[in-house]
Amino acid sequence: MKQTTLLKVASQSILKNKMRTLLTMLGIVIGIGSVIIMVAVGTGAQKSIETSIKSLGTNLIIVMPGSFTMGGANQGAGTFSRLTIEDAEKLKAQGTLLAAVSPVVSTRTQVIGGAGNWRTQVQGVSTDFLAIRDWTLASGDFYSEADVRASRKVAVVGKTVADKLFPGEDPVGAQVQLGRVPFTIVGVLSPKGQNAGGQDQDDVVLVPHTTAQSRLSGNVRIGQILASANSPEELPAAQEEIATIMREAHRLAPGADDDFTVRNQTEIASAATSTTKVMSGLLAAIASISLLVGGIGIMNIMLVSVTERTREIGIRMAIGARGSDVLTQFLVESVVMSLLGGLIGIAVGYGGAALLGHLTGWATAIPASAVALAVAFAAGVGVFFGFYPARKAAALNPIQALRYE
Amino acid sequence: MKHTHSVITVSGVKKVYRMGSNEVFALRGVDLDVAAGEMIAVMGSSGSGKSTLMNILGCLDVPSEGRYVLDGVRVDGMSRNQLADLRNQKLGFVFQGFNLLARTSALDNVELPLLYDRTGQKRDTKALAAQALARVGLGERLDHHPSELSGGQQQRVAIARALVTSPTLLLADEPTGNLDSRMTVEVMALFQELNEQGITILLVTHEPEVAQYAKRIVVVRDGRIVRDHAVADRHDAAADLRALDEEQAKQEQQLEEAA
């Protein structure tokens, strides 16, 4: 039989039972749809992680508080900070592989001034911070070493904070209150956008770490220390150096556990990637189960169809159809059905990815190769699950098929 | 009738079915010779073996034993695919239940055998199908679906489908079994007309009056041919049809007079 005739016959019989065809295709639609959404989210996440790794800073190293053991029970990382400003100063002074070092003293405070008030993250950092985070100023200047040493009440605000409190104006020179302490705004940071975790990096106020410690947090301990290595190649060596200096500073006996953790930006990024990997894995599982169930659905309906059309098969055989003709006919039918489901699934996937992106703000991207793969997969499911019913049809005895009521 | 060579030559054909450990003989040795241009009726009660004979003659089944030559081709021992091709090339089937594809136009139904043609000779399939339908008097109903046609018309579509490949032999299995008496006569008139045009026809029936339209009757009983004779007073279906029409006209006239 000619290909066009085969396709015509297949589409005719598919159209005869519209509702049934639709329900049968649903499994494939969901399966292919989730494959597309999965790929869209995965690819989008990877792209945004790549950009956010860049936005973290250059050759960034983060020193965080380590685990702390109390009475033999390990309390886990970050439960109790032993990091101090002195640690940061030692790293700055002794680190030969470190280009810049800054302590980070974090608190959340209400910022009052200008058009109203806004609750935000206040970070006490040194003048090295801008270089570490590879950040620039949109207007004004960063505070100076002298400001830090003198614990002056000066602040540099992020774009989001500036927009909230001083919409449409340049806040440089304006007074704000951080909690109850008045500060003078000396600069505005250029916008950086979201980080890998979806946090707004521009929703921040930077003040000298000395001022933050004495006026805002009142705590000697600090949350973390940021540093940057001279070059990407020196990152591991720089991490080693930090560890050595820190152990010495904390007077840790040889063999004792570190009471701090040193991470570089790729390690942080890989943590973010693993989250999306779990997400993608979950969707892949849904997709494959759905495709399997959809395929079984197609097989089931094709078996019903073969039984229903036993007489038709008998007629076709009596007038000269070979077994292979009947096999091809039913195979084409199941492939057309699953391909149609696949195409609808791709459309659903595009829609779903767009909707998901709109609702969650996740970046999504669908590469053409994924669409091609989905089409191939749908066709494969059609062939695989259509083969058994088609072979059953082809093996029918024409005499019995003709008598079938 | 151009030349009288044998279309069917069957000699010593047996068919055995195994039912568990039992062997059931459906055919116990059949010899039959059908010449080109014949119109032969095979009669017999159910269980006589006439259906089995029909299946073997129709190349739907192969004999367990014996020879079957169809139009010079040895059929016994052929593979499934060879049988399928032979059915497509040399045979035309007409069934009791019409066996048309539902929701498919008359034209598409008749075209169907041509789509399975592997010789590649029959090119203009739509035109051939339309010709075949015109030949059975349905040239005006190409687009009708079986559900829109009467039983007699459906059977004529089936006959057109059987004719479209220009077969050597037309096999009709109880072709009038589902038709009323008038449609029966109509269909038999068509068969007689086609036979006059030189088509060899073999019909299986259990109705003696249908068999009377054939030229020769073969009676099968217990897997054997027990009688094989020419029809003495062959009925002319066309004449019977005219008689039926006259009778009907008379009845209508009487009804009118009574009113």
Mapped to the 3 state alphabet, what secondary structure does B56-124 carry? HHCCCCCCCEEEEEECCEECCCCCHHHHHHHHHHHEEEECCCCCCCCCCCHHHHHHHHHHCCCCCCCCC
Enumerate the residues of chain B whose CB falls inside 8 A of the CB of residue A324: 81
How distant is the Cα of B169 from the closest Cα of chain A, in angstroms? 13
> Which residue in A305, A322, A324 has the most chain B C-beta atoms within 10 A of its own C-beta, making it the best mutation to test that interface?
A322
Give me the pLDDT at residue B154, please: 93
Give me the pLDDT at residue A39, please: 83
Query: With an 8 Å Cβ cutoff, is B50 touching chain A?
Result: no
Task: Please answer yes or no on whether B60 and A398 come within 8 Å at the CB atom.
Answer: yes
Handedness of CA B27, B30, B36, B39 (dihedral sign): negative
Task: Please answer yes or no on whether A319 and B89 come within 8 Å at the CB atom.
Answer: no
pLDDT tens digits, B127-161:
999 999 998 989 888 999 999 999 889 999 999 99
By C-alpha distance, which of A43, A35, A50, A47 is closest to A282?
A: A35
B1 in any annotated domain: no
Mean pLDDT, rounded, of chain B = 90
| Residue matched to tokens 């066709």 | A379
B17 in any annotated domain: yes
Enumerate the residues of chain A whose CB falls inside 8 A of the CB of residue B54: none
Size of interface A-B (CB pairs under 8 A): 59
Give me the pLDDT at residue B199, please: 92
CA nearest A13 in B: which residue?
A: B103
Give CA–CA dist A287/B139, Å, rounded: 53
Q: Six-digit token pair at A240?
A: 């080693």
Task: Please answer yes or no on whether B81 and A324 come within 8 Å at the CB atom.
Answer: yes
Query: With an 8 Å Cβ cutoff, is B99 touching chain A?
Result: yes
In single-letter form, the type of residue at position B104 comes to: T
Give CA–CA dist A191/A402, Å, rounded: 77
B/e letters for A8-29, b = 16+ CB within 10 Å, e = fewer, are ebbeebbeeeeeebeebbbbbb
Q: Is the pTM of this model over 0.80?
A: no
pLDDT band at B1 (very low <50, low <70, confident <90, very high): very low
Give CA–CA dist B56/A314, Å, rounded: 15
Residue A320 is nearest to which of B95, B103, B113, comparing CB atoms? B113
Q: Which residue pairs from A245-252 have beta carbons closer than 8 angstroms and sit at least 24 positions apart in sequence?
A: A245/A90, A245/A91, A245/A94, A245/A95, A246/A63, A246/A87, A246/A91, A249/A86, A249/A87, A249/A90, A250/A82, A250/A87
Residue B9 pLDDT > 90? yes
Residue B61 is nearest to which of A1, A311, A399, comparing CB atoms? A399
Order of strands, sheet of B39-43, starting from the edge strand that comes earlier in the sequence: B91-94, B169-173, B200-205, B39-43, B216-221, B224-230
Give me the pLDDT at residue B73, please: 92
Residue B3 pLDDT > 60? no
Give me the pLDDT at residue A65, please: 83
- The 8-class DSSP code of residue B141 comes to -
Give CA–CA dist A101/A130, Å, rounded: 10
Categorise residue A45: left if φ over 0, alpha if ψ from -120 to 50, beta otherwise. alpha
Give me the pLDDT at residue B2, please: 44
B114 in any annotated domain: yes
Number of domain units in chain B:
1
Residue B26 lies in domain: 6-258
How far is residue B107 from each of residues A3, A93, A108, A170, B85, measured CA to CA in Å?
19, 95, 82, 82, 22
Task: Report the share of chain B in percent with pLDDT over 70.
Answer: 98
Give CA–CA dist A147/A210, Å, rounded: 9
How distant is the Cα of A358 from the closest Cα of chain B, in angstroms? 46
How distant is the Cα of A399 from the closest Cα of chain B, in angstroms? 6
Residue A320 is nearest to which of B84, B95, B104, comparing CB atoms? B84
Task: Considering only residues A39 and B31, tell me which one the structure prediction assigns the higher pLDDT.
Answer: B31
Task: Please answer yes or no on whether A320 and B93 come within 8 Å at the CB atom.
Answer: no
Three-class secondary structure of residue A60 per DSSP? strand
By C-alpha distance, which of A190, A265, A207 is closest to A232?
A: A265
In single-letter form, the type of residue at position B148 comes to: E
CATH of the domain at B59: 3.40.50.300
B216 in any annotated domain: yes
Order of strands, sheet of B65-70, starting from the edge strand that comes earlier in the sequence: B22-35, B6-19, B65-70, B73-74
Give CA–CA dist A169/A376, Å, rounded: 56
Give CA–CA dist A362/A367, Å, rounded: 16
| Residue matched to tokens 């990997």 | A277
Backbone angles phi and psi of A98, in degrees to 5: -105, 130
Q: Six-digit token pair at A316?
A: 């076709």
Task: Please answer yes or no on whether A325 and B116 come within 8 Å at the CB atom.
Answer: yes
Give me the pLDDT at residue B76, please: 86
Give me the pLDDT at residue A73, please: 60
How distant is the Cα of A323 from the closest Cα of chain B, in angstroms? 7
Residues of A within an 8 Å Cβ radius of B:
1-2, 5, 12, 16, 311-312, 314-325, 398-399, 402
Query: With an 8 Å Cβ cutoff, is B61 touching chain A?
Result: yes
| Side-chain half-sphere exposure of B139, counting CA atoms within 13 A | 6
List per-residue pLDDT tens for chain A, 405 residues long: 677 777 887 888 888 888 888 988 988 898 899 888 888 888 887 777 777 666 677 688 888 887 655 555 665 555 556 788 888 888 888 888 888 899 988 888 889 887 788 899 899 999 989 888 888 888 889 999 899 989 899 999 999 888 888 888 888 988 898 888 899 999 999 888 776 566 788 899 999 988 888 888 766 678 888 888 888 788 888 888 888 898 888 888 888 888 888 888 777 666 666 766 777 777 778 778 888 888 998 999 999 999 999 999 999 999 999 999 999 999 999 999 999 999 999 999 999 999 988 888 777 888 888 889 888 989 999 999 999 999 999 999 999 998 887
> Which residue in B50, B99, B119 has the most chain A C-beta atoms within 10 A of its own C-beta, making it the best mutation to test that interface?
B99
Give CA–CA dist A218/A302, Å, rounded: 74
Give me the pLDDT at residue A332, please: 92
Q: Are B71 and B79 in contact (CB under 8 A)?
A: no
Give CA–CA dist B214/B225, Å, rounded: 17
* Burial degree of A177 (CB within 10 A; 0-12, 13-18, 19+): middle
Residue A319 is nearest to which of B81, B103, B112, comparing CB atoms? B112
pLDDT tens digits, B105-117:
999 999 999 988 8
Count of other CB atoms within 10 angstroms of residue B193: 15
